[in-house]
Amino acid sequence: MFFTRAQEIALAALPLLDPRGTQGKGRGVIAIAQAAGVPAPFLSKVLGRLVNRGLLRSRRGRGGGFVLGRPASDITLADVALALERRDDLERAFPPVAGPVGAVLAPARREFLERLQRTRLSDLAGAEKTTPLP
């Protein structure tokens, strides 16, 4: 039920992009990495995967860099998680835990998946960091 490292890095970085989407100003990978406190080489790979899945666009030249593929209000955490897992189904991307502990955690898993579906990148814009990324 936990995020992969790529998902964590994406969710730390994407709220730093212009929320207007393709109409917004681009931001370079080094600037994003520094602001998010994540390694630039790994962030570059993660952002490239998101470009391939259509959640981001990259621009060259002046004012270039990465921009959201659509407004932040139209991108859910589920969209990001699924794009990085190359899946279309949250149930498969976050399978239930087996055995007795799975039965105990089932309600928490359901709530987690529901929150992924209803939380948008725009909702993260003012959210406090509660746990720094190592």
pLDDT digits (tens, 9 = 90+) for 103-129: 998 999 899 999 999 999 999 876 655
Contact 24, 18 (CB under 8 A): yes
The confidence score (pLDDT) of residue 43 equals 96
The ranges of the chain with pLDDT < 70 are 1, 126-134
Residue type, 95: P
CA distance 134 to 124: 19
**Other C-beta atoms within 10 Å of 40: how many?**
15
Rounded Cα gap, residues 37 and 5, in angstroms: 13
**How far is Cα 102 from Cα 61, in angstroms, rounded to an integer?**
50
